């Protein structure tokens, strides 16, 4: 679990601020965005395999939306994974 660098309170991944002290976070978690892309890509593949094509396309759309927000170094991590 990540913690707030200001007060040490546990925060959920993706929270824009600490619920305890209000510190705002600048998210630069390289692994987080790459992992989200991989998860949605997997969901798309899984949805396709079970015949749920609408779910597969929606998941693929989210995956590539995440990809578009990645830096070049994050994209390189996807290509080499």
DSSP 8-31: --B--TT-SB-TTT--B-----HH
Determine phi and psi for 60, rounding to 5 degrees: -65, -40
pLDDT digits (tens, 9 = 90+) for 29-45: 556 888 889 888 999 99
Rounded CA-CA distance 8/39 in Å is 29
pLDDT digits (tens, 9 = 90+) for 15-73: 677 888 888 766 555 568 888 898 889 999 999 999 999 999 999 999 998 888 888 88
- Taking CA 41 as the corner, what is the angle to CA 51 and CA 3, rounded to the nearest 5 degrees? 130
Rounded CA-CA distance 63/40 in Å is 5
Q: Out of 10-14, 31-35, 76-80, which region has the weakest mean confidence (pLDDT)?
A: 10-14
């Amino acid at each position: 679990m990540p913690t707030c660098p200001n007060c040490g309170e546990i925060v959920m991944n993706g929270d824009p601020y600490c619920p305890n002290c209000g510190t705002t976070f600048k998210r630069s978690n390289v692994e987080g965005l790459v992992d989200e892309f991989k998860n949605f890509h997997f969901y798309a593949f899984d949805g396709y395999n079970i015949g749920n094509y609408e779910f597969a396309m929606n998941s693929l759309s989210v995956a590539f939306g995440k990809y578009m927000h990645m830096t070049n170094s994050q994209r390189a991590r996807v290509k080499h994974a």
